[in-house]
Amino acid sequence: MHTPDRWLIVKINGNDPHYRVFGSWYGGYLGSDSWRMNSGITKVSEDDDYYHFEGTSGSVYHCHKKAWGISGYGSAVLHAMIEKQKDYQMEIVPQDMDVTTLEY
């Protein structure tokens, strides 16, 4: 189970279009910031405060509804990934998109 400090959804376009969770964590006083992208969303559910994204690898990301966004470190990593892609395109899903209605 993963609960990122900040998160967003990325759409991967290409031969196999799909959506992924990109999560970032703040390192705190003694740690360093980190990021993680899931294997691909297969299912989403929600409660009052969280979206629960299940991935193809079996991982589950619990993402607080008010934590949509990305850290400065995560932004640098994600935008570098987007710039380097040649075989497919990555795009950030807009915040106002209802993630429960996307086809996973």
pLDDT tens readout for residues 24-34: 999 877 788 89
Alpha-carbon span 41 to 9, nearest angstrom: 9
Mean pLDDT of the chain: 92
Half-sphere CA count of 33, side-chain side, radius 13 A: 14
The model carries a pTM of 0.90
Alpha-carbon span 84 to 52, nearest angstrom: 29
- Mean pLDDT for 45-74 is 96
